[in-house]
Chains A and B, each alone.
Chain A
Amino acid sequence: MVSPRTIRNLKREWRNNWLAKIGVALVVAILLVAVFAPLLAPYNPRSQSLEDSRLPPMGFTETENSTSSQFVNGSVQVVSERTTVNATWDHPLGTNQLGQDMLSRVIYGARTSLLVGALGTLLAMLIGVPIGLVAGYYRGRVDDALMRFADVMLAFPSLVLAVALVGLWQQAVWRIPDPFVAAGLAPSMPPDIVLPGTVIVVVGLVTWVWFARVARGEALSVREEEYVKAARSLGASDAFVIRKHVLPNSVTPILVLGTIQVAAIILLESALSYLGFSGTSLSWGFDINQGRDYLATAWWIATVPGLAIVLAVIGINLVGDWLRDALDPGLGGEGGSGA
């Protein structure tokens, strides 16, 4: 499936493109963090400790004005107190309003974001690619019908559609036992990985159109290749031709789109969580939502997960760009006619 030339192109692009290296480094780092979250997180991300609430990240000091009423000499007095809250190495990224460790939360949030991104993209691919391939391969009325439907889907702002769908359906949540906890390696950590099932299905449903369009475009061009004609002249069925020729030769742009869609879905999931349509409380978007009320007093509650989203999206997009440049047949890849 992967020809030596493809590998050569990947290597060449790797050599010439330092952005690709940054992207891959970021994505690999986030992946490792997500996988080994129970071992890396210093605290259970859900455990609260109110006396440690709203500690700032390292390097920052926060002053806090608090007023309290006290009984002094039989009368009520309003006492104004000015306290200084210092960051501690116990919570390098600070804590949120519930005293939960931000570092642990960001680490666990990576799991949710990447899983939703990956599973959502996979679902979108599973829906979109076959529809697109069939539309492009058969053209005509099939194509007209499928693509008009896709256009209608595209015309809807995906976030609005997603909100409507999440609102419409029950919040389903999938719980998968965390293998590290089950193996007793991290006994104090949450025992389950909580996956927001509804969100995954919804992001898949609102983004499959992109895959359908790309797959259709590829199928339209691949079906004109003579090797497709050759296979048909041999009596191959349409299903055989699509599976054996059209799909493998459409894979590259679909893959590239896939990486970019993972990033887009992470953003979409964050947006949904931010709006409160989340199935889990361990998500970057959820934390941003939580931090919204404290922007003036504890900016880091929203900013830290926000930065995590930015880094993940940039990293994934850089990888996508690298794949696109390296796999672009226009750069002297396989196929093409002439000479």
Chain B
Amino acid sequence: MKVSTDRRLRLAGGIAASMGLAGFLAGGFLVLVLATGAGLPLGESLSDRYIRGVVLFTLEQAALSTLLSVLSAVPLAIALHRARFPGRRAILRLFLLPQALPVLVGALAIVAVWGRNGVVSDALAMAGLARLDVYGLSGILLAHVFFNLPLAARLMVAALDEVPAESWKLAGQLAFSPTTTFRLIEWPAIRQVLPAAASLVFMLCATSFTIVLVLGGGPSATTLEVAIYQSLRYDFDPGRAVVLSLLQIVLTALLVMAANRLGGDAVASFGLGGRTKRYDRTGALLKLADGAVLALGLLFIASPFVAVVIAGLKADLTRLLTEEAVIDAALTSLWVALSAGLVALLLSLPILAAIEALASSERRSGSRLARQSRRALEVTASLVLVVPPVVVGAGWFLGLRQVTSVFAAAPYVVVLTNAAMAVPFVVRILGPALATGHRRSEKLADSLGLAGLSRFQIVDWPAIRRPMGLAYALAVAISLGDLGAVALFGNREFTTLPYLLLQRMGSYRTEDAAGLALLLGLLCLTLITSSESATKLRHGSGR
């Protein structure tokens, strides 16, 4: 095989995979829109007070969540970066965990800590004060801050790690006070990632489904995604579901564009920190303040994890583990997640190979067409960010209804949706590794005429071998913890662990729910942390 043939094959594979992905994401909708035709009650719905309220609430809760997460991340990041103490790295690692925790489990944990019968309410009641009500806006905000505060803080710590060592040396040498250090070094560094952090958090909160489903209450605290789900599952109003879905797509598309403009690739920079050496002179008062900020942050992030463990251990775990429904759900979850992970890899690899082939012809000829096609492939890979799982599900739910039994097709739709959800993450993990490998050995491979399988074995495989495990584990964990895709399609024959957990919560079998949450949370955390440390993927500072 010639090198040029190899390149053409890679391109063809990537285009096929991305068309498959795009087709799946948009397909259900296309079927639907074609079937409904011009009969969409679009204008009518836009003036509908309920829909307007939902849109407003979606934006309002996302804005407030972003404000709270990002504002509290600033002092936390500064304290984390300034304070030197044993266990600092452990805290930074802990801040990774909320991202690995299934959202449903996190929502449950928030209830356990902050809910009516939670630890905080108990303490308040003992002090003679009113118990907290976690359902509604306040609960949604708490949960969003729990998931996103650590994310924002880590982005900021990474930005502080990027500050050149000379700046910290100068600060020490010129005797900067803490305020001067903040004004001249810390704030400028943090300000650079602020737009990226804020837009990322806003995006995640505006498309949040599970948290709002569990903690939102009634029409006054419903986001677009939950409204789509409710209009199909409870009211069965397809017209409204379509309008809501279109609104959601337009909204997220706008958000993604704004985020790209503001922040670029924020997610890629995740330092574990700790390499920067600082020479500030911190007085006793400042040390105390840092300690207090860190203790509060730690308490806020760690308490839900502790609550999950305590509540879960109270459940009758042996009974749960031998219960037929649980075993069935676990097996279903397992095969769904393993296949979704596999499909995600099978979709991502050809896309990445094509991206690299285009990047290489771009390097050789500076071709604009190559650059635009590469961008198009990259956009397709993260298309699922614009078309959230619930919307994809709604499309296929309504589309398939016309031709077959929705529930017969359920497992396939869920596997494919979960795979599509994982593709952006897989691409993000494998992409940089593959790009580095190609830049290093591409000229050599071309001059040797490496093509086909041997090119894959010698150039591609060594580059992606190590991060591959992490990418697969992450894809599997995303699917294991997902509720968005399965929420519409779950039924008696097709029940995954998160779906079962939601059912048990719905029927007030709180102990069962707590036990299942512990099992599910443990499964996902072990999966991700073990594969991450096995991969030893060090996202270093880029300098």
Q: Do A and B come from one complex?
A: no
